Amino acid sequence: MNAIRVQQVGDPDALQYVDAPTPEPGAGEARVKIEVAGVNFIDTYHRRGWYPLPLPFTPGVEGAGVVDAIGEGVSEVAVGDAVAYGMSTGSYAEYAIVPSHLLVKRAAGVDARQGAAAMIQGMTAHYLACSTYPLKPGDTCLIHAAAGGTGALLVQIAKLRGSRVIGTVSTAEKERIARAAGADETIRYTQTDFAEAVNDVTDGAGVEVVYDSVGIATFDKSLDCLKPRGYMVLFGQASGVVPSFDPQILNQKGSLFLTRPSLSSYMLTRAELESRANDIFDWIAQGKLQIRIDRTFPLDDAKGAHAYLEARQTKGKVLLTT
Asked if 258 touches ligand NDP (CB under 6 A), the answer is: no
Tell me how far apart the alpha carbons of residues 260 and 181 are, in angstroms, rounded to a whole number: 25
Instruction: Out of 42, 61, 93, 103, point to the residue binding ligand NDP (CB under 6 A).
Output: 42
Min separation Cβ 252 and ligand NDP, Å: 26
Distance (Å) of CA 72 to CA 22, 65, 77, 234: 18, 20, 12, 40
* Number of residues located near ligand NDP, criterion CB under 6 A: 28
Instruction: Out of 237, 276, 284, 299, point to the residue binding ligand NDP (CB under 6 A).
Output: 237
Distance (Å) of CA 304 to CA 83, 91, 99, 219: 26, 16, 29, 29
The stretches of the chain forming alpha helices (DSSP H) are 41-48, 112-117, 123-127, 149-160, 172-181, 194-201, 219-223, 248-252, 270-285, 302-310
Asked if 102 touches ligand NDP (CB under 6 A), the answer is: no
Instruction: Out of 65, 115, 206, 236, point to the residue binding ligand NDP (CB under 6 A).
Output: 236
Asked if 222 touches ligand NDP (CB under 6 A), the answer is: no
Candidates 35-43, 63-71, 225-233, 250-258 — which segment interacts with ligand NDP by CB under 6 A?
35-43
Instruction: Out of 61, 116, 120, 302, point to the residue binding ligand NDP (CB under 6 A).
Output: 120
CA dihedral 232, 233, 237, 243 (to 10 degrees): 50
Asked if 25 touches ligand NDP (CB under 6 A), the answer is: no
Q: How far apart are the two ends of the chain, measured CA to CA in Å? A: 10
Asked if 217 touches ligand NDP (CB under 6 A), the answer is: yes
Asked if 314 touches ligand NDP (CB under 6 A), the answer is: yes
Asked if 293 touches ligand NDP (CB under 6 A), the answer is: no
Nearer to ligand NDP, 237 or 322 (CB): 237
State the DSSP code for 130.
I
Nearer to ligand NDP, 57 or 235 (CB): 235
State the DSSP code for 58.
-
Give the nearest residue (CB) to ligand NDP. 148
Asked if 71 touches ligand NDP (CB under 6 A), the answer is: no
Min separation Cβ 35 and ligand NDP, Å: 20
Q: Where are the beta strands (DSSP E) in the chain?
A: 2-5, 16-19, 29-39, 62-70, 82-86, 95-99, 104-105, 140-143, 164-169, 185-188, 207-212, 226-234, 257-259, 293-298, 317-321
Min separation Cβ 119 and ligand NDP, Å: 10
What are the residues binding ligand NDP (CB under 6 A)? 40-42, 120-121, 124, 145, 147-151, 169-170, 174, 213-214, 217, 235-239, 261-263, 312, 314
